[in-house]
Chains A and B, each alone.
Chain A
Amino acid sequence: MGAVVETEGLTKTYGRKSRGIENVDLTVEEGEVFGFLGPNGAGKTTTIRTLLNFLRPTSGRAWILGLDTRRESVRIRAGVGNLPGEFTLEDRMTGEKLLRFFARMRGERDLGYAHELVERLGADLHRPMRRLSRGNKQKIGLVQAMFHKPPLLILDEPTGGLDPLVREEFLDVIEEVRSEGRTVFYSSHVLSEVERVCDRVGIIRDGKLVDVEPTRALVNKAFRHVVLTFDAPVDPRPFRAIPGVQALKADGPRLSFTLHEEPDALVKLAAQHRLVGMEYERPSLEEVFLTYYGEGEDGGGG
């Protein structure tokens, strides 16, 4: 296996406030699904647009499929399927015509896989784009990114607008892409999706790549919001003493807190009382960022 995406000190600054990305060093290995995470404005889209040579790097270099992104971007794009974050197409054209246009651009004659994807995702190819909902447009976008079976998929917020069933089907497709040995660069801010399909995650914040780690490590880092409701008020002190319990608030029979460790001790203690309600919620990725990667000013372009 080798590097499919590699950057060295990749920097792109623009605007008066020098927004963008700074010294991004990143390696995505062949055959992995790499999650690229960050809050809105962290620099995810700027990184992708710089990789695709839509934006010229201020400094640093990048390679995709072993090719220099500045000098050989056309050959790179022949081997990349790209779904932009803000996917928009010509309003008057139908998905079918657009797919045929993209196929001609790529010299691709076989649309068999395209139609398989259309069927699986439930995309409507026969109505003009202007008459499609956001989710249906997104399905066309996913098909156009994947239909030519590129060695690398770059997907920026790919599930935006999709309903839960279609999202599940799409994530199945991504797992199939991985099983075929192809690579996916998956930019998202939806933690559950990333947890489901990504092997590793890179975390970008304020334009800087702050961490790269296996997905499991990130998920384990994430605390949980817990609300326990008993049939009568309970003494909160034993709960407060459980390792990992923080910010505990007692309100009559209701205890709310955050749990930063495994729930085993908590469940055992709660079982000593009559429990009438339990909420156990994963925090949003934004909260994870604020907790583990600190607060700061807004960064890059998206």
Chain B
Amino acid sequence: MSSVGMRRRHREKRRHAAKGRTPGGALFALITHTARMQFRSVIVWGLSLGLYSAAIVATFTTMDAGQMDRIADGLPEGMREAFSLTDLSTIEGLLDVRVFGFIFPLALTFFPILALSGAIAGAEERGTIDVLLGNPVRRWQLVVGNFVATAVSLLGILAISGLSTWATALLEDVDLTLGRTAGAFLNLWPFCLFFGGIAILCSAIFHRRSLAIAVPGFLLVGSYLIDVIGKVSEDLEGLRDYSIFSYYGSAIKDGIDWTDFGGITSCTFVLVLLTVFAFQRRDIYT
């Protein structure tokens, strides 16, 4: 390139740079936009799971606790351990079996998986990513913005479900404290987001939303099965170390284990960092 061309370029660069300041609010705008887009899903997911959980609480008063325990006692010990059927006479034990140990972690996790698989690969498949990135938004902002918005939306779902559950307990005069309920629902937050983190990482790597759903979905079910097998068989108990379910624990009965809570959160943070790293270095296709 000629020196004249270089000078001209630098002159142009200075002139246009003043116009080309990046608006500081791009990330905030992205977060609020994504959260708004997810609002309807938050209501649907929150009410659906909240109603299910509330129904479990409502039926507790009609159950014969002693009979439930006797039925559970008739099952093999391994099976009782595997499915946490050791304490069905308390509302905490029942919720642990029917809500927090099975339906919620397996179903609710698909909210962040579906939302974050669409953040990159889904936007490429829909063709919306070109318009979005035509704006002065950095790639890391797209990743973080989507993740933060989904985390906030997930919190909204948990709040709706938690309040439905606790309010039902209050109305039905079931002995379930707000603190214990809030802890149990909050404990789902990093757990679900961990799989959301895997989804957005896959979304950044594979360019295909179906893979970004399938991989974390497979890991979720696989992790659950490993945990169950580890509980059933003493010989395979060591396998549970490889399952996130063993770190998820049972907050409704034991309260939140903040060490595990922090550990899962840290792993999720690493997944988001890896996503930023992967997304920065690849082409965008539509």
| Residues in chain A within 8 A of chain B (CB atoms) | 2-4, 6, 8, 14, 30, 49, 52, 54-56, 63, 65-67, 74-82, 84, 86-90, 92-93, 101-102, 104-108, 141, 144-145, 151
In the complex where A67-B17, A105-B136, A107-B23 touch, is A2 in contact with B30 (Cβ < 8 A)? no
| Residues in chain B within 8 A of chain A (CB atoms) | 1, 5, 8-17, 19-26, 28-30, 32-33, 37, 126-128, 130-131, 133-138, 282-284, 286
- B28 contacts across to A, CB distance below 8 A: 104
* 18 residue pairs from A and B, CB less than 8 Å apart: A52-B134, A66-B9, A66-B12, A66-B13, A74-B137, A78-B136, A82-B131, A82-B134, A84-B127, A86-B127, A88-B127, A101-B33, A104-B28, A105-B25, A105-B29, A107-B21, A107-B25, A107-B26
Interface centre among A2, A3, A4 (most CB of B within 10 A): A2
Report the minimal beta-carbon distance from A114 to chain B, rounded to whole angstroms.
Answer: 14
Is B9 touching A6 in the complex (CB atoms < 8 A)?
Answer: yes
Which secondary structure dominates where chain A touches chain B?
mixed
- B17 contacts across to A, CB distance below 8 A: 66-67, 75
- B13 contacts across to A, CB distance below 8 A: 65-67
Report the minimal beta-carbon distance from A210 to chain B, rounded to whole angstroms.
Answer: 23
- A79 contacts across to B, CB distance below 8 A: 16, 19-20
Is B133 touching A54 in the complex (CB atoms < 8 A)?
Answer: yes
- A250 vs B221: C-alpha distance when bound (angstroms): 76
- A82 contacts across to B, CB distance below 8 A: 130-131, 134
Is B135 touching A106 in the complex (CB atoms < 8 A)?
Answer: yes
- A89 vs B284: C-alpha distance when bound (angstroms): 16
- B126 contacts across to A, CB distance below 8 A: 88
- A8 vs B1: C-alpha distance when bound (angstroms): 9
- A287 vs B136: C-alpha distance when bound (angstroms): 39
- A54 contacts across to B, CB distance below 8 A: 130, 133, 283-284
In the complex where A2-B9, A90-B37 touch, is A77 in contact with B21 (Cβ < 8 A)? no
- B8 contacts across to A, CB distance below 8 A: 2-3
Q: Apart from A75-B21, A77-B135, A78-B20, what are 13 other A-B pairs with CB-CB below 8 Å? A: A2-B9, A3-B8, A56-B282, A75-B136, A76-B20, A78-B19, A78-B22, A78-B23, A80-B134, A84-B130, A104-B23, A104-B29, A141-B131
Report the minimal beta-carbon distance from B106 to chain A, rounded to whole angstroms.
Answer: 28
Report the minimal beta-carbon distance from A186 to chain B, rounded to whole angstroms.
Answer: 16
- A108 contacts across to B, CB distance below 8 A: 23
Is B23 touching A106 in the complex (CB atoms < 8 A)?
Answer: yes
- A73 vs B11: C-alpha distance when bound (angstroms): 18
- A107 vs B27: C-alpha distance when bound (angstroms): 11
- A76 vs B136: C-alpha distance when bound (angstroms): 8
- A14 vs B26: C-alpha distance when bound (angstroms): 31
Is B131 touching A144 in the complex (CB atoms < 8 A)?
Answer: yes
Task: Name the residue of chain A whose CB is nearest to the CB of B134.
Answer: A82
Is A84 touching B283 in the complex (CB atoms < 8 A)?
Answer: no
Task: Name the residue of chain A whose CB is nearest to the CB of B10.
Answer: A66
Is B128 touching A89 in the complex (CB atoms < 8 A)?
Answer: yes
Is A105 touching B12 in the complex (CB atoms < 8 A)?
Answer: no
- A84 vs B1: C-alpha distance when bound (angstroms): 30
- B1 contacts across to A, CB distance below 8 A: 8
Report the minimal beta-carbon distance from A164 to chain B, rounded to whole angstroms.
Answer: 26
